[in-house]
A = this chain, B = another copy of it.
Amino acid sequence: MSPSTANKLTETEKHKAGRANRVSIHADSRHVDREPHSYERWLINKILHMVGDPPLRFRLWNGDLIEPEGGQARFTLTLNDPRALYALATNPNLAFGDLYSAGRLDVDQDLPGLMAELYRHIHRARSHWPKWLEALWRNHAPRSTGLEEARENIHHHYDLGNEFYQLWLDQAEMQYTCAYYESPELSLEQAQLAKLEHVCRKLRLKPGQTVVEAGCGWGGLARYMARHYGVKVHAYNISREQVTYARAEARRQKLDHLIEYIEEDYRNIAGQYDAFVSVGMLEHVGTDHYLELAALIQRTLKPEGFALLHSIGRNRPMLMNAWIEKRIFPGAYPPSIGEFVSICEQGNFSVLDVENLRLHYAQTLSHWLERFEKHRDRVTAMYDEHFTRAWRLYLAGSIAAFEVGALQLFQVVFTHANNNRLPQSRGDLYQSPAAPESH
């Protein structure tokens, strides 16, 4: 039993114990097969109308069907008890996920497809919502991301157990961030390696350089940079599970002389480096801490160094969906493109390159969901059915969010304002494929 497996079991146990604190909505078991009241039918029609009349029918607890007005239903949503309806009507952002996880709300067909349809309809409909509905159905502000809370936020998600993530992430480098499908037929493994290569190319790494990574996951990027570019990496992460795995893997690959994995908050990064890179951490930083992050990069990046931030983002500022922020990613907030570049403005950096890989994340998530479904029984055995359903919804909802353009994936490259050692063009990023021919 490796140390990481020992840790994993502990974290799995913790997670199971944590279920006692789960905010649950109890099924109204006394009345699950009673006739629906006429005002309940009215309420469902009202909800359907408020969310823009999607092609969606409701199946009620007694088997009754409520068809959408003036349209053919392509999806069926089953409400298994009356209280589920009231939860949905009063707080849909949170209740949809909680009810689905608890098995009190069900979807017959393609879950990502339904989510995409809902996103599209709600996006169009919400501009017509009355103020009271906007207030009732609002998302709440995310949890704090101070030093203490950040540890709890990260622990909640990333310390679920390495074995769990190994079931459905790529087998190449355990990348839990958007892959780069430079051509659409790439495997998940190829596309994740292509992402690592693309990031290294954008940083223009040269052998012997030093790199600091903020939020290194299971350490795959650090190992890739050490292996393929001969650089020295300091990689920071506050997920103990991930750091344990990363260190073991670096030793196994005989790269530990080049990489130091440091179990510390990014705010404690010390030293100066030729490159600053962070892939998938900015979502957890919180806009309150962007000035601090900008100052940190300003301090730790050498005069001719390049920085790259890779993060989920938005076209305009918007709160994270309440259920995702509460149940899946506490404290998470994907910045708008304006909030994103405000980091560069605050640090007096010069933005060199922004690329949006939105649809690449939809494809990455589809690959993940496919593998996740293959292992769902194993996941349920490790946790429980509630967990499996919650994660299915999270993955499916994320596919939908990227497909409809509710979420973006930005890679932003920047440097000090007075650095004149700039690449002549971006042609060097494209001189050969970034992905290996097979994997």
Distance of A345 Cα from B346 Cα, bound (Å): 19
Q: Does A24 contact B (CB under 8 A)?
A: no
Which residues of the partner chain B approach A345 to less than 8 Å between Cβ atoms?
A: 315-317, 336-338
Q: Name which residue of chain B comes closest to A339, CB basis.
A: B338
Check if B337 sits within 8 Å of A341, measured CB to CB: yes
* Cross-interface CB contact of A358 among B181, B350, B359, B405, cutoff 8 Å: B350
Interface centre among A120, A342, A417, A429 (most CB of B within 10 A): A417
Could you say which of B315, B341, B424, B426 contacts A426, with CB atoms under 8 Å apart?
B426
CB atoms of A424 and B181 under 8 A apart = yes
Q: How far is A419 from B348 in the complex, measured between Cα atoms in Å?
A: 33
The A contact surface, by secondary structure, is mixed
Q: Which residues of B contact A429 (CB under 8 A)?
A: 426, 430
Q: How many copies does the complex hold?
A: 2
Asked if A405 contacts B417 (CB within 8 A), the reply is yes
Indicate if the CB atoms of B359 and A344 lie closer than 8 Å. Answer: no
Closest Cβ–Cβ distance, residue A414 to chain B (whole Å): 9
Given A350-B405, A356-B350, A425-B182 contact (CB < 8 Å): yes
From B120, B341, B354, B403, A338 is in contact (CB under 8 Å) with B341
A315/B348 contact (C-beta < 8 A), A342-B338, A403-B420, A427-B182 known? yes
Q: Which residue of B lies closest to A428 (CB)?
A: B430
Smallest CB gap from A405: residue in B: B417
A163 within 8 A of B: no
Residues of B within 8 A of A342 (CB): 338
Residues on B with beta carbons closer than 8 Å to the beta carbon of A422: 358-359
Does A355 interact with chain B (Cβ within 8 Å)?
yes
Query: A21 — which chain B residues lie within 8 A by C-beta?
Result: none
Whether A184 is near chain B, meaning CB under 8 Å from some CB there, is yes
Q: Which of B120, B338, B353 contacts A356 (CB 8 A)?
A: B353
A65: chain B residues at CB < 8 Å are: none
State how many angstroms separate the Cβ of A83 from the closest Cβ of chain B.
35
Please tell me if A352 contacts chain B, counting CB pairs below 8 Å. Answer: yes
Q: Closest approach, in angstroms, between the C-beta of A402 and any C-beta of chain B?
A: 10
Residues of B within 8 A of A315 (CB): 344-345, 348-351, 417
Pair A337/B351 contact, Cβ less than 8 Å: yes
Complex: A341 Cα to B410 Cα, angstroms = 13
Task: Provide the bound-state CA to CA distance between A311 and B235, in Å.
Answer: 37
A268 within 8 A of partner (CB): no
Q: Which residues of B sit under 8 angstroms from A182, Cβ to Cβ?
A: 424-425, 427
Interface residues of A in 386-439 (CB under 8 A from B): 403-405, 408, 410, 417-420, 422, 424-427, 429-431
Contact between chains at B405 and A418 (CB < 8 Å) = yes
Interface check A38, CB cutoff 8 A: no
* Inter-subunit contact A418/B348 (CB<8 Å): no
* Highest count of chain B CB atoms <10 Å: which of A336, A354, A422, A426: A354
Would B359 and A420 count as touching, CB distance under 8 A? yes
CB of A29 within 8 Å of the partner chain: no
**A–B complex contacts, Cβ < 8 Å, 25 sampled:** A181-B424, A182-B425, A183-B424, A184-B424, A315-B344, A315-B349, A315-B417, A316-B346, A316-B348, A317-B345, A336-B345, A337-B345, A338-B342, A338-B345, A351-B356, A351-B408, A352-B355, A354-B354, A359-B422, A403-B420, A404-B418, A405-B417, A425-B430, A429-B430, A430-B430
**Chain A residues near B (Cβ < 8 Å):** 120, 180-184, 315-317, 336-338, 341-342, 344-346, 348-356, 358-359, 403-405, 408, 410, 417-420, 422, 424-427, 429-431
A-B pairs with lowest CB-CB distance, top 4: A354-B354, A405-B417, A430-B430, A316-B345
